[in-house]
A and B are shown apart, each in its own frame.
Chain A
Amino acid sequence: MTGTALAPKADRAPAKTRAPRGRSRLADPAVGVWLAAAAVTGIGWIVVAARGGDFLTLTNVVGILQNSVALGLVAVGQTAVILTGSLDLSVAYLISLGTLVAATTMEDGSVVTGVLAVLALSAAVGLANGLIVTGLKVNAFIATLGTAFILRGWIEENYTGPAGKVPASFQHLGYDRMGPIPVSLFLLLAVAAALWVVTRRTRFGHHLYATGGDEHAARLSGVRTRRTVIAAHVLCSLCVGAAALFLASRLGAGAPWAGTEARYDLESIAAVVLGGTVLAGGRGGVAGTLGGVLVLAVLDSVFNQLGVDPFFKNVVRGVVIIAAVALYARRGARRPA
């Protein structure tokens, strides 16, 4: 029946069965990035030791962790948004505004009202971001860039410099320690743990991954993808609010440059990506992000101890990020083999 000049059936080995391969745990970016953090620490220790310094002192380690708190909070929130395939570029200005709102509210009122005001502001900004992205169908990059501009305009119009004053009682968050460990680190760990549970163990978390992984498939399976994206934005902004509160406590006042000077917007995305979360969404997680934050913080600390110039420092950071993502991409490409 089949046409002309065809050779008899050849005995082909069954070709298609791709048995689940025992994937090395090392291949998981979330594990890899922690190993990288360990490696960077090791190298830093050697390099600093070679110069006669001592890298792994308690003060230094605690310092690294303390410096990770603000970026960690933002990056953990950013992870939730990026997992859905969205993005948040407004975080830096939200932090600035958050510190200002916290400090000015606390100056006149109580600490509690200050905290609530910041969280309410954050939730509102997150909701706005989510609605713009899902409702107006504006690309997340543009949408959150737009809200960033709006927040910036608001800040520049209303605040000329540091404003407000944080009461001493609230500064405990920024400066107190339990034993050698800063209290603020517990804040980060609590937020990160909460987000880990939310992303990994709740239905919402599953839908987060599904929406980022394949929005069409998710919708066909009955997932309310819009709500998921909106909720992710709110969650992210709440984490950013927490970061703002922490920074306000450290600074003792609100500052218009609190979020922008350290470039928390791009820095947080870098940490997320370094931690193995795919920018397109659907893969990755909070654990990796924390690893990414740690790598960046350790690098910073090493450079500070060595006193290298900022140019070299930034070059290395850039190379590390690009190399990491290139590595993950290679892994992804090799996958179907």
Chain B
Amino acid sequence: MHAKQATHTMLAMHGVSKSFLGVRVLHGVSLDLAAGEVHALVGENGAGKSTLMKVLAGEHVPDEGTITLDGRSHHFSHPAQAQAAGIGIIHQEFALLEHRTVAENVFLGREPTRYGLVDRRAMEARTTQLLTELGELDITPRTYVRDLSVARQQTVEIVKALASDVRVLVMDEPTAPLADHEAGLLHALVRRLAARGLGILYISHRLREVFELSQRVTVLKDGRHVTTVRTRDTSTDAIVRAMVGRELSAYYPPRARPEEVGETRLTVRGGGNTRLRGIDLTLRAGEVTGIAGLQGSGRTSLARALFGAAPFTTGTMTVGGPPLRPGTPRRAIRAGIALVTEDRKAEGLALRQSVRDNALLVTRAVPDRERPPAARELTALLERVRLHARGEDQEARYLSGGNQQKVVIAKWLAARPRVLLFDEPTRGVDVGAKAAIHTLVRDLAKEGLAVLIVSSELPELIGMSDRILVMAEGRIAGELPAGASEEDVMRLATASSDGPEPPPSTDPPSRSDPPPPSAQAPHEGTAPTAQEGAE
């Protein structure tokens, strides 16, 4: 398919290391790229792919290591320098101005001028030329970016990179926000770019497209280079093994025995919204259900939908009673649902308030009229979650990550939930506190709560869950029993969208899709300390 076989090394990164706040997220990683090559970069969440690419793009300055482009060594300390050297990066979140035209975006920062004024005509002509070269005849330079589909916005990003004469184009999960047929078009575009002699570094979780597009694959794991192989000499299984190969060493509390699993607490039938489709889900008392999936697969969206923060717009949801109208977190709390969010600092805690105020946040906001919370209960509750704090008056921001998380859990337990949802329960939590949280979660399940855990740490998810639902592209791709292997999970999670699809969603067809999910998609690598430093 590809036009040129790798001829000579154009870009070489050698021995790149990077630490954030003392946590090493890249350990001497090396990578090279030839002109005309599509080089895929794969690895689990937190493997360091995005960090490595941000080093290349000048967004992070490496602690060690060298970058050589066309024989010249570079030290980038600002994105503009990397850009000038010929490195373009297409982020998962587009850096486009919605309310400006395509041409204005493409030439932002380098507008051509004539007699001191911006030469709009030249700008638009050049944009048209670039778009024509790419065969993108449907985009006109005067269109406002906000009026373009996500796929076309991405094309504009690519054109923007091309306009500054890039040699190396980094694409960070470019197909994640795209629908199937759009992904196909993007693949064709990537091939055309490679044929023009660009070197392309292609980060993807979808192994199928990796095999379709790339000449070589590099696998990263825990910030280390695992292997680089020619794509045609390897197999999906080999790549998956290289991605996850690590031992399950941590201790997890014993799973639920069958007799401990009780009545159904929450049911969803055909749940869907802009990010989710055809969700069927049952949560039972005493059981811990794990949700696996790659970033952007809809894991977090599912938790938020159940909690009413971004509710289902189709399907029905019942929580031990009549169907719940989709709605607001407040309604969900009244129904007995609690959500420990992924971003503790922004969504879980009022950092400048005391432990006591934080723990009482929910009960004060949504009071239980029959059983108002007593002060004595609070102390018991904080003991229950084994909080280590200097007292109930200590401000939440001074607690360690683990203790902050315990306060968040206490806050929800005070509301006496029946369904407890955890999104990344131990992100940014040290090892000791992690085990404590795992034990606590299991104890809560034993007491009859229905528990759901979303986690990108596969060992944790497998260790904790009584069954695992794997999500991919907004759907539940399959269910695995307790103790499934990481390979099984990854295989389901990386299954490409070319596979079978669930029944069409009942979304009214006239409504088209929302703005780019990238706006809310969790971004790997931006908070490496939280995720990767945790291990």
Contact = CB atoms under 8 A, between A and B. Distances in A.
Nearest to A2: B499
B172 to A, nearest CB: 14
A18 B149 contact: yes
Contact of A1 (B118, B146, B491): B491
B495 interface: yes
B477 A3 contact: yes
Nearest to B116: A202
Interface stretch (A70-78, A113-121, A207-215, A234-242): A207-215
Interface string A202-222: 110111011001101111111
B79 interface: yes
B100 interface: yes
A13 B510 CA distance: 10
Interface stretch (A4-12, A172-180, A289-297): A4-12
B520 interface: no
29 contacts: A2-B492, A2-B495, A3-B470, A3-B492, A3-B495, A7-B500, A7-B501, A9-B501, A16-B149, A18-B148, A19-B147, A20-B148, A21-B147, A23-B147, A197-B117, A201-B120, A202-B117, A205-B118, A206-B108, A210-B108, A218-B108, A221-B109, A221-B160, A222-B79, A222-B83, A223-B108, A223-B109, A283-B99, A336-B515
B179 A16 contact: yes
B95 A217 contact: yes
A-B complex: 4 closest residue pairs judged by Cβ atoms: A3-B478, A222-B109, A2-B499, A217-B95
A248 B398 CA distance: 56
B97 A217 contact: yes
A6 B95 contact: no
B195 to A, nearest CB: 26
B109 A218 contact: yes
Interface string B180-216: 0110000000000000000000000000000000000
A10 B146 CA distance: 29
B72 interface: no
Interface residues of B toward A: which range? 35 or more
A222 B163 CA distance: 14
B145 to A, nearest CB: 10
B111 interface: yes
B504 interface: yes
Max count, chain A CB within 10 A of own CB: residue among B147, B179, B491, B515: B147
B99 A206 contact: no
Interface in B54-101: 79-80, 83, 94-100
A335 B99 CA distance: 11
A17 B80 CA distance: 32
A276 B26 CA distance: 48
Given A6-B502, A14-B179, A201 B148 contact: no
Given A2-B492, A6-B502, 11 more contacts: A2-B477, A3-B477, A3-B495, A6-B499, A16-B150, A209-B97, A209-B104, A214-B96, A214-B98, A222-B80, A337-B512
B501 A202 contact: no
A182 interface: no
A111 B502 CA distance: 79
Nearest to B106: A221
Contact of A201 (B79, B118, B492): B118
B113 interface: yes
Interface string B258-287: 000000000000000000000000000000
B109 A4 contact: no
Interface residues of A, number: 44
Interface string B93-131: 011111110001000111101001110100000000000
B376 interface: no
A336 B472 CA distance: 25
Contacts of A336: 146, 514-515
B95 A221 contact: yes
A15 interface: yes
Contacts of A12: 501, 504
B478 A220 contact: no
B111 A14 contact: no
B134 interface: no
A21 B148 CA distance: 9
A203 B512 CA distance: 35
B434 to A, nearest CB: 29
Contacts of A2: 472, 477-478, 492, 495, 499-500
Given A1-B499, A2-B477, A202-B116, A335 B146 contact: yes
Nearest to B208: A1
A265 B494 CA distance: 57
A98 interface: no
A15 B513 contact: yes
A282 interface: yes
Contacts of A282: 97, 99
Contacts of A220: 79, 95
B294 to A, nearest CB: 14
Given A202-B118, A209-B100, A214-B97, A221 B182 contact: no
A213 B148 contact: no
Contacts of A210: 97, 100, 108-109
Max count, chain A CB within 10 A of own CB: residue among B98, B113, B495: B98
Contacts of A213: 97-100
B310 interface: no
Given A2-B478, A3-B478, A17-B149, A203 B95 contact: no
Interface in A51-86: none
A105 B146 CA distance: 51
Contacts of A15: 179, 509, 512-513
A210 B79 CA distance: 17
Interface string B507-535: 00101111100000000000000000000
Given A18-B147, A203-B111, A209-B100, A9 B500 contact: yes
Contacts of B109: 207, 210, 218, 221-223
Contacts of A207: 109
B144 A20 contact: yes
Max count, chain A CB within 10 A of own CB: residue among B104, B108, B147, B495: B108
Nearest to B112: A203
B140 interface: yes
A16 B512 contact: yes
A42 to B, nearest CB: 31
Nearest to B492: A3
Given A2-B477, A218-B109, A20 B95 contact: no
B182 A3 contact: no
Interface string A322-337: 0000000000000111
Contacts of B470: 3
B357 interface: no
Contacts of B140: 20
Contacts of B179: 14-16
A17 B182 CA distance: 9
B479 interface: yes
B53 to A, nearest CB: 14
Nearest to A201: B117
B503 interface: yes
A216 B181 contact: no
Max count, chain B CB within 10 A of own CB: residue among A210, A221, A283: A221
A206 to B, nearest CB: 5
B95 to A, nearest CB: 4
Interface in B439-492: 470, 472, 477-479, 491-492
B469 to A, nearest CB: 9
B436 to A, nearest CB: 33
